[in-house]
Amino acid sequence: SSDVCSSDLQTDGYAGYDNAAKGVGVRAGCWAHLRRYFVDAVKVNKLDPVAAEFVAEMDKLFAVDREAAEAKLTAADRYLLRREKAALIVEKIREKLLFAKNTVLPKSKLGEAIAYALAQWPRMIVFLDHAEIELSNNLAENSMRPVAVGRKNWIHVGSVDAGPRVAAILSVVGTCRRLEIPVREYLNDVLPGLADRKAAQLAELTPMAWKLRRSG
């Protein structure tokens, strides 16, 4: 299993992410988003067993990762578990997709779900080779949910340049929370004298680098 680095990216299929993905080492897909397409197809036609079968198979994938989490497996062991169990499920889903694409209306909800899945497929199977990658990017999305909720309140935050700055601040704060770093303590440590730092030194100030120094 290859390690995932900071230049890797996990997204759904939204085209807006394509520019951000240029030059990344690994780009992985999100199974939660893919599953949502098929859930929508089930809602449209509850009597259609095909869409429900896809949802059920994807639920089995998440069950494999729950098993790994409950057993507190290392990344190496999760890689082996996925190869043993998840790879078979993934191949079954792929076979069903290829068969079903010729039997459903392309413009139907199920047809759109199948087309999306096949278009995203190379990204959907990346997790099998990279144990550190989660099945979905729900954790990242949930950490940004306050941004979506408060967007209207911040519409006059300052200027056009303010958006990227706010995004950078929220990214740092979200990373601290993800790494269980005290945000106030981290900021009090790295902000003083930041303007006098050279660009080459910035990598030493990331939340991960800060945490490693403190734990070492």
Do 86 and 128 form a contact (C-beta atoms < 8 A)? Answer: yes
Each residue of 127-156: pLDDT tens digit? 999 888 888 865 555 555 555 555 555 555
140-148, Cβ contacts within 8 angstroms, sequence gap of 24 or more: 140/10, 140/174, 143/174, 143/177, 143/178, 144/170, 144/174
Do 117 and 34 form a contact (C-beta atoms < 8 A)? Answer: yes
Residue 110: CB atoms within 10 A of its CB come to 24
pTM over 0.75: no
Pairing of strands 9-10, 27-28: parallel
Do 50 and 110 form a contact (C-beta atoms < 8 A)? Answer: yes
Residues of the chain with pLDDT under 50: 1-7, 9-14, 16-18, 20-22
Which amino acid does the sequence have at 36? Answer: R
Do 8 and 27 form a contact (C-beta atoms < 8 A)? Answer: yes
Q: Is 9 helix (H, G, I), strand (E, B) or coil?
A: strand
pLDDT of residue 47: 82
| Geometric angle at alpha carbon 176, from 124 and 215, rounded to 5° | 105
pLDDT of residue 92: 97
pLDDT of residue 196: 87
Do 31 and 62 form a contact (C-beta atoms < 8 A)? Answer: yes
